[in-house]
Amino acid sequence: MELAKLLGCMGAFGLMVGLSAQPSLAEDPQTIGELHPPVVASVGDQKITVFFLKNNLKDLERVIHVPDAEIFYAPISAVTPSLNYVWKVEGEQIASVFFFERKFPERAGKSMFVLTESRESNSGFRGVSYSTQELHLVESGGRLSLEFFRGNAYPPELQNCYEGRDLDKGVDVECAYKDAASIKKFLAIQDAKMIADSKLDQDNRQKPIKTNGDSADTACPSSNFAAFLTAFSERADVQKSFVQQPLKMVTTVAGDPEPEMEKRSLSGDQLKFPIFPDQVTRDIQGLTLTVKEERGDKATAILQKPDTDYVFEYRFVRGQCWQLEEVMDYSL
């Protein structure tokens, strides 16, 4: 954060504390208010106080965007007091502040979550929306800090969760994640799933899987579909081991009056590998590979050449590992 901004905020915070002990005049509105009472956060013996400071002049600024509030923290019992900027708050009010500690090794640690609530009123919806923001508690060098990681990928379920009246459909909608209890349960399920998937990956790497597609043993690259797809596209041995036989092949052929889909089943010598171009080949040919959908034990990848009719759809299913079960060739 820029030094000028930090000093300005510290001065404003000191002014707010000073004014709390004396009456305010109607003609002297406070520029900084309190969106939520301060919260004490701790990891071990380290403690900090977290402040949620509201900008009361937000509605007066028309040129640049001003967030509803900003989050700061100050160490407790520090030799040198300091007010540290964390991040902004986009929401009319804070519905809840709570903590959750993940167990998954790669994301283990305690975080503070801020649940915001905002009014929504437009031609299609009237009600409120809830969004959840995560701030990480980081202990380093005997000091505790509160950090916002810009690379955070928030679950879509916890963003813009609407509750109210859907005017287009004429039905009431209810947000499933509008309080700390429901969000903690959601986070616990996600954390447990990541631990289970990680253990499955480790077991698969240690235990090769035999398949009909290849006489050799090949370990499952990953239960995570994106990671599996990367290995599948780069390695012919993975393709041979994790193609379901017979493989269903659906091809677009000329028809009268419309193109028709021709279905075949391929196995053994009928399958030509590599069945999937690697990254170098895709770059040379101008092809793009994307994950179209992943739902439960089914996933679909799309291989296409932009601005042409070259489109292949690869459909996978997951058992002990992901396997390619069907190829749809939509090219003419």
What proportion of the chain, given as a percentage, has pLDDT over 90? 43
For 118-141, write each residue's pLDDT tens digit: 999 999 999 999 999 999 999 988
Phi-psi region of 108 (alpha: psi -120 to 50; beta: other; left: phi over 0): beta
* Entry field: residues in the chain: 332
The answer to whether residues 89 and 35 touch, using CB atoms and an 8 Å cutoff, is yes
In terms of phi and psi (left: phi > 0; alpha: psi -120 to 50; beta: otherwise), the region of 127 is left
Round to whole Å and give the CA distance between 256 and 177: 52
pLDDT score of 22: 41
What percentage of residues in the chain have a pLDDT greater than 70?
A: 81
pLDDT at res. 202: 64
Q: Please indicate whether residue 13 or residue 283 has the higher confidence score (pLDDT).
A: 283
pLDDT at 215: 38
| Domain segments of the chain as ranges | 3-195, 209-329
Top pLDDT among 71 and 200 is at: 71
User: Structure tokens of 182?
Assistant: 């429901």
Asked whether 294 and 215 are in contact (CB, 8 A), the reply is no
- How far apart are alpha carbons 4 and 255 in whole angstroms? 70
User: Which residues lie closer than 8 Å to 293 by C-beta, 6 or more apart?
Assistant: 299, 300
pLDDT for position 177 = 95
Kindly tell me if the per-residue pLDDT of 210 is higher than 60: no
Residue 327: is its pLDDT beyond 80?
yes
- Looking at residue 256, its pLDDT comes to 65
Q: Which range has the worst mean pLDDT, 53-62, 75-84, 287-296, 300-309?
A: 53-62
Taking residues 282-300, what's their average pLDDT? Answer: 89
Among 148-162, 232-246, 301-315, the range scoring the smallest mean pLDDT is 148-162
pLDDT at 168 over 70: yes
Query: What is the average pLDDT value for the chain, to the nearest integer?
Result: 83
Mean pLDDT value across residues 290-311: 89
Q: Classify burial at 233, counting beta carbons within 10 Å of its beta carbon; exposed 0-12, middle 13-18, buried 19 or more.
A: buried
- CA dist., res. 23 & res. 30, Å (int): 11
151 falls in which pLDDT band (50, 70, 90)?
low
Provide mean pLDDT across the span 26-33.
65
pLDDT digits (tens, 9 = 90+) for 88-110: 999 999 999 999 999 888 788 99
pLDDT of 20: 40
Residue scoring higher pLDDT (178 or 81): 178
Of the pLDDT bands very low, low, confident and very high (cuts 50, 70, 90), residue 257 is low
258-285: average pLDDT: 84
Sign of CA dihedral 55, 58, 63, 67: positive
Query: Can you tell me the distance from the alpha carbon of 114 to that of 37, in angstroms, rounded to the nearest whole number?
Result: 12
Higher pLDDT, 213 or 127: 127
CATH 2.40.420.20 fits 209-329, yes or no: no
26, pLDDT greater than 70: no
Tokens of 221: 């690259």
CB crowding 195-214: b at 16 or more within 10 Å, else e: eeebebbeebeeeeeebebb
Q: What is the mean pLDDT of residues 8-16?
A: 43
pLDDT at 121: 94
